[in-house]
Structure 1
Amino acid sequence: MTTDTSSLYVEYKPLLSSIAYRMLGSLTDAEDIVQDIFIELETMQTDHILNMKAYLLKMVTNRSINVLKSARKTREVYTGPWLPEPETADAGQTPETAAIQAESVSYALLVLLEQLSPVERAVFILRETLDYDYRDIAELLDKSDANCRKLYSRAKQKVSTAPVPGREERAAAEPPIAVPVESTRVTSDQAKHAEILSRAFMAAANSGDFREFVGMLADDARLYTDGGGKVRSAIFPIIGSHRILAFLQGIAPGNIKPENQLLIDVNGQPGLRLNRGDELFAVLSFQFDSDSRPVRMFMVTNPDKLQHVIP
């Protein structure tokens, strides 16, 4: 029987890509995995496959696990904090963008998922963000229902209390922040607070004074920058609002100008695209604690991770 690969690609690519991206934190790697799966499918005998969707889900999940295992060593020696590739879209609440936001996993959660083992991450994503039952997850991962329940419980506990990866945490643990993990998708309140903070940042850039913006942050807020050794960035997390202020005041004159900013959607939540002249310089996003305090800022400046950012 001939497989209609084109129809399957159109039908299942969005789902498979979302799983691979949430597993890997890389849009580029996610695209490669999905493309490879469909190229392989064209050469396969598929008569024995009774449930094509389940088969494709199993392929993408297990390949993502394998890629993630091999990527761990690279990320451990990465220059500075390793942050995921941001998924961006135009800001605005058209019906289409609202639907996308409803299905998005926050950027902050993707950062926290780096604390999980590849299998824990797979179970967490399938259960928490896609609402799969344990029986289906067990079949996809060739594990028992009970084992998947334990993996999910362990993963949720880690995500709720884990620090963001950063070199200073290797010597001293970062105090846990109460992150509302029970709501893995971006909520309307999170989106509202993120937009207010983004616009405050834009106003600060316009005036050249970031004191009012930084005053909105928690005193113990942290700024993580990912330049990947490709561009100048802070190798260590910047801890405390006064140090964040000094950092922003230091980089603003050459990099952050009012006419070079754009409010965009970053993983379903308002964030900022920052340009240096006509060239993309960074994507900025935020994390809030359970009391809606801005506690973490994520600035991605690694050009390899900005290739998919909207123009």
Structure 2
Amino acid sequence: MDRSHLYHEYKLLLFTIAYRMLGSIKDAEDIVQDVFVQLEKIDVSSIDDPKAYLVKMTTNKSLNHLQSSSEKRETYPGTWLPEPIVPGDVNEPLDNLLKEESIRYTFVVLLHKLTELERCIYILRDVLVYDYKSISTMLNRSETSLRKVYSRAKQKLQQNKQLSKATREEASQLASLFLHAVKSGDFDRFINHLSKDVVLISDGGGEVLSAIYPILNRNRVAAFLQGIHKRGALQGQFSIVRVNGDIGILQRQQGMPTKLIAFDYSKTGVQNIYVVMNPKKLKEIGHKFSL
């Protein structure tokens, strides 16, 4: 199997691994490009399992990238959220990948509640379904230690993941209610769809004014939304878009994206509202993937 075939066969898989690990489109693309640049220096005919080899390279490069940028994450102003994927054109292979549960925006947010190593092992074991022996070879760690880390990661996710995926109709209805509230200033019908302990998280990255801390419970979220509406922060053009395969809302002002809103659901209503406002994370809206 030559390098060109390997690239076309595995580029999107490797991108989704790096994206889940890093939460950044450009960084994930850079990791994939770097993997194949390095592959140019290797005799691919000597590789017994090309897929496992490429996955190993991608996960290790992603871990190295996270470790080198850990100080930036630690000093990040306010809450950090992953960069949303909102493709600008139809890309069937990418669209198929975005339908996977493990690439949904709300799930990627959950993954980033884990440590870097926990996230890596969880992705390899639970998402990509590698056995512990293979992961041990990839990460140069004992199977016993991998089992412990995986168990810890799974427990953390189960504590957070009391969520249910809304149907397309439910998600569309909620988005429509939000758009109506923005136009009318009446948020009551939208607020009625929120759970009592809903959490709103905004990420401005210190670049724009945003809530530094999460806003907790329905009453406070309602007051926050009504407050920013009165201040004019919800003026502009709003549209329903596909965010990591799910339905979300995009705000533009003077043609530039200013807010990307995604929702997380539970049996009692919307559990989390994620508002990405950091301009650096919105500049890839409509991104044409180079992969």
TM-score, with structure 1 as normaliser: 0.82
Per mean C-alpha deviation after superposition, the further-off stretch among 201-210 and 97-106 is 97-106
Question: What is aligned with 1:178?
Answer: 162
Q: Does 1:55 align with 2:33?
A: no
Identity of aligned residues (%): 42
State the Cα distance separating 1:99 from its structure 2 match: 6.4
Q: Is the 8 A contact 1:218 1:293 kept in 2?
A: yes
Question: What is aligned with 1:100?
Answer: 98
Q: Is the 8 A contact 2:200 2:273 kept in 1?
A: yes
Question: What is aligned with 1:109?
Answer: 107
Large movers: runs of 4+ above 6 Å? none
Provide the C-alpha distance between the structure 2 equivalents of 1:157 and 1:91, rounded to a whole number of angstroms.
Answer: 37
Describe the SS at the equivalent of 1:209. coil
Per mean C-alpha deviation after superposition, the further-off stretch among 33-42 and 134-143 is 134-143
Aligned Cα root-mean-square deviation (Å):
2.6
Question: What is aligned with 1:83?
Answer: 81
Name which of 241, 253, 259 aligns with 2:218: 241
Q: 1:138 to 1:79 in 2, by over 3 A?
A: same
Q: Does 1:304 align with 2:275?
A: no
Question: What is aligned with 1:129?
Answer: 127
Describe the SS at the equivalent of 1:220. strand
Q: 1:129 to 1:91 in 2, by over 3 A?
A: farther
Describe the SS at the equivalent of 2:194. coil
Q: Is the 8 A contact 1:190 1:288 kept in 2?
A: no
Q: 1:191-212 CA deviation, whole Å, 9 max, x = no partner?
A: 4433322121111112121122
Q: Which amino acid aligns with 2:216?
A: I
Question: What is aligned with 1:174?
Answer: none
State the Cα distance separating 1:135 from its structure 2 match: 2.9
Give ranges in structure 2 of 5+ residues lacking alignment.
none
Describe the SS at the equivalent of 1:218. strand
Q: Which amino acid aligns with 2:107?
A: L
Per mean C-alpha deviation after superposition, the further-off stretch among 19-28 and 189-198 is 189-198
Provide the C-alpha distance between the structure 2 equivalents of 1:190 and 1:128, rounded to a whole number of angstroms.
Answer: 24
Question: What is aligned with 1:140?
Answer: 138
Question: What is aligned with 1:40?
Answer: 38
Describe the SS at the equivalent of 1:88. coil
Number of paired residues?
Answer: 285
State the Cα distance separating 1:292 from its structure 2 match: 5.0
Q: Is the 8 A contact 2:99 2:245 kept in 1?
A: yes
Name which of 210, 218, 222 aligns with 2:187: 210
Q: Is the 8 A contact 2:83 2:282 kept in 1?
A: yes
Q: Which amino acid aligns with 2:8?
A: V
Q: 1:109-168 CA deviation, whole Å, 9 max, x = no partner?
A: 212222222221111112222233333322222233333222221101112225xxxxxx
TM-score, with structure 2 as normaliser: 0.88
